[in-house]
A and B are shown apart, each in its own frame.
Chain A
Amino acid sequence: MSETPPPEQPSAPAPDQPDTAWWSGEDAENDGTRPLDTRSVIAQADATDRRPGETEPLDDDTTQRETPPPPPAIVAAALRHIGQVRETNQDSIYTLVSSIPRETGDATLGLFVVADGMGGHEGGEIASRMAIAAVARRIIADLLVPAIEGTINVSLQALMVEAVQEANRAIWEHARLTGSDMGTTCTAALLLGRSLYIGHVGDTRAYLIDANGIHQLTTDHSAVGRLIEMGQLNPDEARDHPLRSHLYRTVGQHPEIAVDLVFQPIGDATHLLLASDGLWGYVEETTMVSIVRTIDSPQRAVRALVDAANRAGGPDNISAVLVRLG
C-alpha cells in the first residue's frame, strides 16, 4: 500500500485548561462504564503529541499487541460414588480440558458434565451414560475440532442446548425400543476462555465459588425447587417434601425438551462445582465451600465432598466435578 500521508492540518491550538477539569466528573458521555485510567492515557497522549493530528503512514503497522493474559490454570477433578444405600450407581460424569490456539492468545476450553440417571432395570445407568456421550460427542465435533482449527462461529448457547436435546432424542428412542422408563438429569458446563455456558435439565446443580461464597447457577427442575424459588416453601420444609426429587423436566422421557442455558463469565470465581442431588441434598453449602477452600488439590477436595455426603448417610449416588479456575 502506498498512500501519501494526509497533510498536516492547521489545527486551532487547544485552549490551555487545567487537565483535571476534563475528566473529573460530569461527563455526559460517560454512560455508566468504569472510568478510564486517565493518567496513563494522558501520559501516552503527551508522549505522542509532537505534531497534533499527525497520522502515521498507513502501511506502517504499528499495532500494539496486547500481551494476552495467561489462560487460567484449570485443574479439574471428578468423582462418582455409589453411596451407602443404593445397589447401583446411576450417575455418569465427564471432564475434558483442552487449550485452544488463538491469534490473540491461547484460550482454555473445558467441558464438564454430570448426569444423574433414573429408571429401573439399569435404565438409569444407560440413560446417564448416553447423555454424557451424546453431549461430549457433539461438543467435540462442533466446537473443539473447529476451535483447534481456529474457526469458532457457532452460537455457543445453541450448541449447548442442541447437545442436550440430542442426548434427549437418543435416550427417548432407546427407551421406546426397549420399553424402558429411563431418564436422566444432565448438567453440561462448557468453559471457554473466561466464560461458562451451561446447558441444564434436571436437578444436578452447577455452582460458582468465589471469595463471597457459593452461587448456584442452575435452577432445579422440580416443582418443589420452583416453589422455593417463588418463596412459597422454605428450604427446610422442602428437605423432607415427598416430591423433593420429583422432576418436571428430564432428559430422555419426552420426545422434545426445553434446555436451560446459563451464560456466566467466571470473573473472580475460584471454583466451578457440579453436584448431583446425592451431594447437595445431604451436604450443606457452607460445608461444601469450606471443603473447597481449605483443600487445595481438587482431587482431594472432591474426595472430601463425597466423603461428607457418605457421612450424612449417603442415601443416593454422589457425583461431583470440581474445577479450580486458577
Chain B
Amino acid sequence: MALIKKPGTTKGIDLNSSSSNAGSDPQGTATPGARARAAAPVMQPGVILQGRYVIEGTLGVGGMSVVYRGRDLRFKDVIRPCAIKEMYQSAPDSNTRLLNLKNFEREAGLLATLQHPAIPKVFDFFEENGRVYLILELIQGKDLETVLDEAKGPLPEERVARWAVQLCEVLSYLHNQKPEPIVFRDMKPSNVMVTPDDRIVLIDFGIARSLVRTRGTVIGTEGYSPPEQYKGVAEPQSDLYALGATLHHLLTASDPRTETPFTFHERPLRQLNPQVSPELAAVIEKALSYDMKTRWASAEEMRLALLQTPTLRSGKGGGSAAAGKAALPRVNNAATTELVWRFVCEDEVRSSPCVSHGMVFVGCYDTNLYAVDAGRGEFRWKYATEGGISSSPAVWNDIVIVGSEDGAVYACDVRRGALRWTFRTGKPVRSSPRVLDRVIFIGSDDQHFYAIDGLRGAQIWKYRTWMPIRSSACIARESVYFGGGDGFVYALNIKNGGVRWKQRTQQPVISSPAFAENMVIVGSMDNTLYALDSEGGWPVWKYRTNHYVNSSPFVFGTRVFVGSVDGNLYAIEVKNGKLAWKYDTGSQITSSPRVEQGRVYFGAADGCVYCLDAANGALIWRYETQGPVVSSPAISEGVVYIGSLDHALYALRA
C-alpha cells in the first residue's frame, strides 16, 4: 500500500507537536510521518495472537496503530477474516501514553456498544505482550480516498448521492445514541469504506466520542473539520459539515486539505463541476455553512433533503439532465430592452458617445460632431470637421473636444457648437481626448502624443513615438499612460512628457489603458491583456485571448472587463489575472465594456448591444441594431447610449 503523505504536516521535530494525530489512526490509507513508520512495530505474517488470530498482512499504519489483515483460527472449516488493530506507543511521555491507551480503550468500548450495518463489528479486545489489540470485522472494499484517486476526477453524482444517504443514516444512528449522542468527528473519504456491493462503512472511531460538552483539543482532519472543532467544540452538526466537505471533495475532486480552510462557499460545487445538479449542490452547501445553526438541524433532515433531489427521485441521470436544462436559456430566448430613442446620422457612428449637460455628444463618419438631447434624442447642433470622426468626444467645463480624420483636434462650445479652438496635428486623430484639470491629452497618427492647453488650444508638450497612436490616455498618479502602434505601452510624466517607462508588447496597442491597484491594464494586438506595474511597466500578469484585444479594459470592483476579437467578453480578476467568467457572443468585440449597477454593457460586430450580469456573465438582454457596433456605451440615468455602423445613435433602457 502506498503511504503517501499529504499536506497537513506539523512542522518541527518536537514530539508534542504531533498531538493532533494522537487519536487518529485510519484503518485504510494512513498518513503517518516517516518517523512514525520507522518506529511502527510491524508484525510479520504468521504471528498468532491469543492462539487464535493469525496475522496475514498489513493493511495500514497510522500515527498510533497498525491495522493487519488476519484470520480467526477458531473456525476450522471456513475462512473467517478479521482486521487486527494493534496499538503502539511512540510518545515518550507517560501522560500521552496513558491518554492514548484510554482513547484506544474508548474506541473499543464504543464500537462494542454499537450495532449498525455501516459500523464494523467488534469481535475481541485484549492485551498481549504489553500491547493492546482490537479485533474487528474486516471490511472488504476500498476507502473513498482510494476510489477518488483511481477515478482521477469527480465521481458520478448519483453514486455519491446514494452514499450520502447512507452516511446520513449512520450519522443519524450515532447522533441518536442515548444518553448522549456520539459525534464521529473525523468524517473524510479515507474513513469511509465502500464495499463491492456499494455499501458504505465508517471506519476509524479513534476520536469518536460521546458528546461531552467540555473543551477538548481533538480536531479531526484539517480541510474537513468544521471551524468549531478548532475551539474544542464538536456537536452532531460538526459531522454534517465534515460530511459536506467529504461530498464536496468526491464531487469535485478538489482536495480540501490543500485548499484554504473554510472556503467552500468561495468554491461552489457547480463552479468546479457544472455537472452537479443545483439541488444536490444546495443540500451540500447548506451542510457546509460556517455557522452550526444554519446547517441542517440533523443528519435525518439532511437525508430527507437528499432524497428530494432529482438525482435520487428519478433514480438516474439527474445531474446531466439538469445541466442540459441549465445550458438552455443563454441561446435564443434572451430578453431585449426598450428603445428610448434613435438618432440617425449620415454615416457610420464609430465614435463613442459622451453624456454631459443633458446632451449626448458623438462623432460620426459624416464628419460631424453631433450634440443630441439626452432625454428625447432631438438634434441640438452639429459641427462639421473636414474628415470623418472616429475619435470619441470628451467634455471639459463648457467645451466638447474631439479629434478628426482631418488631423485636427476641435474644441466647440457645449451649448451652441461654436468653435473655440483647433489644434492641428500632422495626420488623422483617432485617439480620443482625456482631460485633467485644464490639460487635454491625445494621440495622433502623426506618431506624437500631445498635451494641449484646454483654454487656448496650445501645445504644452508632445512626445514622439514611432508609429501612429490610436490608443487614448489613462491618467493616474501624475503619469499619463497610453499604447502605441509600435507595440509599446508608455508612461509619461504628466507635467513635461518625460518618459517614466515604456514596456513592449508583441504587436500594436490600440486599446486604451485602465488603472487599478497600481497596475496599468491594457490590451494588445498580440492577443493579450496586460497588467503592468505602474511604477516600472513590467508585466504583473498577462491574460491571453484568442485574438486581438483592441477593446479597452474597464475596471469595476475586483474585476476588469474587456472584449476580444475572438468574440468573448472577459471578466478577469484584477489581483491575479485569473478568469472569473467569459461570455461568447460569437462575433468580434472591439467595443469597450462599461459597468453600471452591476451590469456590463458593450457592443459586438453582430450588431447587438449586450447587457450581462457583471457577477456571472449571464445575459440579461441584448438589443439588435442594423450594423456592427464598435462604439462603446455611455450610461447615464438608466439609459445606455451607443453608436452603430447602421448610422444611428441609440438610447436604450439600461
Contacts and interface: CB of A to CB of B under 8 A. Distances in A.
Given A193-B536, A223-B222, A243 B458 contact: no
A242 B217 contact: yes
Contacts of A9: 408, 421-424
A212 interface: no
A29 B533 contact: no
B540 A197 contact: yes
A3 B455 contact: no
Nearest to A61: B464
Contacts of A40: 495
A295 interface: no
A156 interface: yes
Nearest to B498: A66
Contacts of B268: none
A73 interface: no
A19 B20 CA distance: 72
A92 to B, nearest CB: 14
B46 interface: no
B535 A36 contact: no
A249 B542 CA distance: 26
B407 interface: yes
A38 interface: yes
B162 interface: no
A183 interface: yes
B385 to A, nearest CB: 12
A151 B505 CA distance: 10
A72 to B, nearest CB: 11
Contacts of A194: 535-536
Given A227-B230, A248-B222, A45 B493 contact: no
Interface in A1-32: 3, 5-12, 14-15, 17, 19, 22-23, 27-31
Interface stretch (B170-178, B297-305, B435-443, B610-618): B435-443
Nearest to B357: A28
A16 to B, nearest CB: 10
Contact of A263 (B17, B262, B540): B540
Contact of B20 (A156, A195, A243): A243
Interface string A124-144: 100000000000000000000
Interface stretch (B236-244, B475-483, B545-553, B585-593): B475-483
B576 A23 contact: no
Nearest to A197: B540
Given A29-B436, A36-B437, A63-B499, A257 B456 contact: no
Contacts of B439: 36, 41
Contacts of B518: 195, 263, 265
B227 interface: yes
B621 interface: no
Interface stretch (B128-136, B310-318, B359-367, B392-400): B392-400
A60 B422 CA distance: 22
Given A38-B438, A247-B11, A56 B462 contact: yes
Interface in A30-44: 30-31, 33-38, 40-42, 44
Nearest to A185: B11
B230 A223 contact: yes
A3 B426 CA distance: 8
B10 A245 contact: yes
Contacts of B10: 118, 243, 245-247
Contacts of B9: 118-119, 181, 183, 246-247, 250, 253
Given A6-B407, A44-B461, A195-B533, A30 B500 contact: no
Contacts of B260: 221, 226, 248-249
Contacts of B20: 242-243, 246
Given A223-B230, A258-B258, A11 B494 contact: no
Interface stretch (B99-107, B180-188, B446-454): B446-454
Interface in B463-498: 463-464, 475-478, 492-498
B44 interface: no
B8 A107 contact: no
A23 B438 contact: yes
A193 B460 contact: no
B410 to A, nearest CB: 10
B7 A233 contact: no
Contacts of A97: none
A44 B436 contact: no
A148 interface: no
A294 interface: no
Contact of A247 (B7, B356, B407): B7
B396 A27 contact: yes
Given A48-B458, A55-B425, A242-B19, A29 B477 contact: no
B457 interface: yes
B653 interface: no
Contacts of A102: 501
B499 A45 contact: no
A65 B504 CA distance: 18
Contacts of B476: 33
Nearest to A30: B436
Contacts of A67: 498
B231 interface: yes
Nearest to B422: A9
Interface string B24-46: 00000000011100100000000
24 contacts: A3-B426, A10-B422, A12-B418, A22-B454, A29-B394, A30-B437, A41-B438, A44-B495, A66-B496, A67-B498, A85-B14, A120-B34, A155-B542, A156-B539, A180-B34, A183-B7, A224-B230, A233-B231, A247-B10, A248-B223, A256-B258, A257-B258, A263-B519, A265-B535
Interface of A: 3, 5-12, 14-15, 17, 19, 22-23, 27-31, 33-38, 40-42, 44-45, 48-49, 52-56, 58, 61-67, 85-88, 102-104, 107, 116, 118-121, 123-124, 151-158, 175-176, 179-181, 183, 185, 192-195, 197, 221, 223-224, 226-227, 230, 232-233, 241-243, 245-250, 253-254, 256-258, 261, 263, 265, 277, 315-316
Closest CB pairs A-B (n = 5) = A66-B498, A193-B536, A23-B437, A118-B11, A29-B435
Given A85-B14, A248-B260, 20 more contacts: A5-B426, A6-B424, A6-B425, A29-B394, A33-B475, A44-B460, A48-B459, A53-B458, A55-B425, A58-B464, A64-B496, A120-B38, A152-B539, A156-B539, A179-B34, A195-B533, A227-B230, A230-B227, A248-B258, A263-B519
